[in-house]
């Protein structure tokens, strides 16, 4: 296959793998998706990856996509990386990692997060500055953990990067990030649109170690270097966008933002579960992460640690296929297998209650789906409030919920969310929204156009609309009751 139109590459560097989406820049048609895995190691709350594996996976994914698409490399005009948020990458003076990166789902920094929250005066003080309260997932908490537990590496750091920053710098030779991913560090202020000097001082972090913040994720921060081009098999000099975090990129892929849809909720079902919306209202509630979006708007978001991966683990323990599930009945299973982020329960483990003689394995699996879905859906109203909306307003309550991520391709996930939310669902046909969002950022860097407008024209967020069903209030209330009663014990 060949393309007469310019081609852009959107890279999705996630927790488990890297994808490179070769996209027709004029139409948004997905020409090929190259894939390559990378490893996550650690136990006892530790979750780490070698950043060099991310680069190797990016190279393999681009090589595979180029071959599969049949595109002439000379047609490629731009590339952008969307990466897993919050990870801490520390580099030496040559740009090589000093140690494995601490990932977003590494919970060892929970004590540091609590101490940081107190040191600034509490949750409200943090949200007023950064939009978000420190939790174990945030980069500032991980940096503080590193200072306390591996001070030699912290002292030797010549550069501190997020995962997508690390890859963007390898592509372009430029140390750059964007407001969206930077807003997940807890040292970038969404109130001022810059790094916060007082917070950097609190963290003992020199601003010179950090990348420059571009105006948007679509800003062109450089060109593909000759060295990177040789490794990737692409033309040197093509546009390299600032890129962004994975959630921000998914929003772009859905056409959410200033040039598209505002204040429309999205539920993403992946390794983590997230609910978010793009809005012009700066969020400042401690209940949520008040992120910036890649296009200059904001992205209030709630994230859970335990979603598809946790449910798949329960299925494996029960020796069932992931789709071999029925509603849980009286059984309630909170699948907090990695602690939990929302609610903030970093040391929690899974909890099962309501077991009866006639409870079936299929019901237990269904209960795991329900526990994971309720956990993330509880935050939906908070996201809408952060957008300045009243969740009880019929016009707001009738807005469809866009369901994305790997779980959105699963029948049981879709039906569980549909049953527990009672909302109309839109399930975008593309399962590669993070990569397509990154492709739109790459197209924006190459042409100067608004990436949200580009993605809207591509209709990358289009898909089947599922009418609402009567809400399963009984299950909703049962799971919520267990969660509310269990929270004090799960904190210990």
Residues with active-site annotation: 246
Residue 224 backbone phi and psi in degrees, to 5: -60, 125
Token pair, residue 338, equals: 């990695």
Cα dihedral sign, 276-277-279-285: negative
Q: By the 8 A CB rule, do 188 and 130 touch?
A: yes
Distance CA 429, CA 442 (A): 21
Q: By the 8 A CB rule, do 465 and 424 touch?
A: yes
The burial of 68, by beta-carbon neighbours within 10 Å (0-12 exposed, 13-18 middle, 19 or more buried), is given as middle
Q: Where are the alpha helices (DSSP H) in 5-50?
A: none
CA angle 70, 74, 76 (to 5 degrees): 80
The burial of 282, by beta-carbon neighbours within 10 Å (0-12 exposed, 13-18 middle, 19 or more buried), is given as middle
Cα dihedral sign, 465-469-473-478: negative
Residue count (the chain)? 492
Distance CA 18, CA 12 (A): 6
Q: Evaluate the omega torsion of the peptide bond into residue 343 and state whether it is cis, within 30 degrees of 0.
A: yes
Distance CA 44, CA 53 (A): 22
Q: By the 8 A CB rule, do 350 and 337 touch?
A: yes
Distance CA 67, CA 296 (A): 35
């Amino acid at each position: 296959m060949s393309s007469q139109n310019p081609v852009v590459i959107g890279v999705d560097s996630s927790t488990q793998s890297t994808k490179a989406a070769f996209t027709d820049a004029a139409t948004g048609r997905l020409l090929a998706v190259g894939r390559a895995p990378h490893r996550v190691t650690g136990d006892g709350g530790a979750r780490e990856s070698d950043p060099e594996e991310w680069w190797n996976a990016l190279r393999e994914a681009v090589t595979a996509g180029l071959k599969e698409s049949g595109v002439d490399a000379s047609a490629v005009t731009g590339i952008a990386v969307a990466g897993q948020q919050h990870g801490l990458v520390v580099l030496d003076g040559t740009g090589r990692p000093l140690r494995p990166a601490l990932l977003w789902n590494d919970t060892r920094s929970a004590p540091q997060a609590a101490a940081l929250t107190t040191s600034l005066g509490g949750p409200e003080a943090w949200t007023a500055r950064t939009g978000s309260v420190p939790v174990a997932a945030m980069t500032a908490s991980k940096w503080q953990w590193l200072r306390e537990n591996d001070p030699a590496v912290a002292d030797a750091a010549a550069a501190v990067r997020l995962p997508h920053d690390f890859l963007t710098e390898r592509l372009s030779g430029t140390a750059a990030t964007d407001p969206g991913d930077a807003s997940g560090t807890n040292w970038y202020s969404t109130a001022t649109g810059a790094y916060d000097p007082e917070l950097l001082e609190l963290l003992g972090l020199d601003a010179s170690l950090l990348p420059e913040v571009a105006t948007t994720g679509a800003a062109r921060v450089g060109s593909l270097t000759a060295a990177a081009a040789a490794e990737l098999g692409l033309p040197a000099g093509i546009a390299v966008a600032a890129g962004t975090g994975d959630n921000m990129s998914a929003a772009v892929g859905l056409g959410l933002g200033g040039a598209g849809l505002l204040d429309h909720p999205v539920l993403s079902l992946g390794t983590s579960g997230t609910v978010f919306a793009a809005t012009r209202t700066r969020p400042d509630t401690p209940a949520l992460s008040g992120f910036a979006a890649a296009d200059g708007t904001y992205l209030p978001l709630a994230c859970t640690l335990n979603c598809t991966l946790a449910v798949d683990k329960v299925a494996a323990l029960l020796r069932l296929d992931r789709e071999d599930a029925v509603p849980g009945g009286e059984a309630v299973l909170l699948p907090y297998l990695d602690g939990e982020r929302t609610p903030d329960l970093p040391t929690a483990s899974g909890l099962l209650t309501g077991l009866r003689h006639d409870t079936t394995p299929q019901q237990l699996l269904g209960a795991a789906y329900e526990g994971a879905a309720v956990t993330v859906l509880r935050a939906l109203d908070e996201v809408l409030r952060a957008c300045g909306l009243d969740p009880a307003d019929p016009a707001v309550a009738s807005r469809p919920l866009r369901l994305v991520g790997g779980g959105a391709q699963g029948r049981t996930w879709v039906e569980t969310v549909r049953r527990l939310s009672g909302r109309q669902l839109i399930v975008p046909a593309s399962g590669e929204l993070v990569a397509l969002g990154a492709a739109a950022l790459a197209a924006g860097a190459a042409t100067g156009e608004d990436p949200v407008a580009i993605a809207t024209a591509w209709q990358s967020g289009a898909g089947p609309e599922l009418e609402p069903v009567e809400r399963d209030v009984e299950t909703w209330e049962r799971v919520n009751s267990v969660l509310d009663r269990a929270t004090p014990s799960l904190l210990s």
